[in-house]
Amino acid sequence: MKLRRLEDLPALVQGKKVVLANGCFDMLEVGHLRYLQHARTMGDLLVVAINSDKSIAMIKDPGRPILDEKERVSLVSALRTVDYVVLFDEPDVSRVLEVLGPAIHAKDPKNHATRDIIKRILSTEK
């Protein structure tokens, strides 16, 4: 099982070069896949911090998330490139960074965005 409690992760990754990636991962798409594949090449382990439903409700538009946190965790966990997954309730990933202390915090260049995909789908329905 890849989903872990944040407090358990430091012991699990001790002695490894940890890369942390984070995001909502609402509607997993090719930009997410490329982001995570690249992040994994930068270290020994890839931990993905996923915004919980509570966190997304604080930072995104109404109606989000589209997929609930259990579904998003299942999708991200299914990716071979991901070693561990953690959910966080805060509006940003600061607490995860403090507790985990990764060697690298990989960020998504946002070449693709779920909000843009949603807009595209809605515009084709008209």
More confident residue, 6 or 1: 6
Radius of gyration of the chain (CA): 15
Ramachandran area for residue 111 (φ above 0: left; ψ -120 to 50: alpha; else beta): alpha
pLDDT of residue 27: 86
Fold category of 6-124 in CATH: Rossmann fold (3.40.50)
pLDDT of residue 117: 67
- Per domain, the residue ranges of the chain are 6-124
Question: What share of the chain has pLDDT > 70, as a percent?
Answer: 90
Confidence of residue 111 (pLDDT cuts 50, 70, 90): low
Does residue 118 have a pLDDT over 70?
no
pLDDT of residue 56: 95
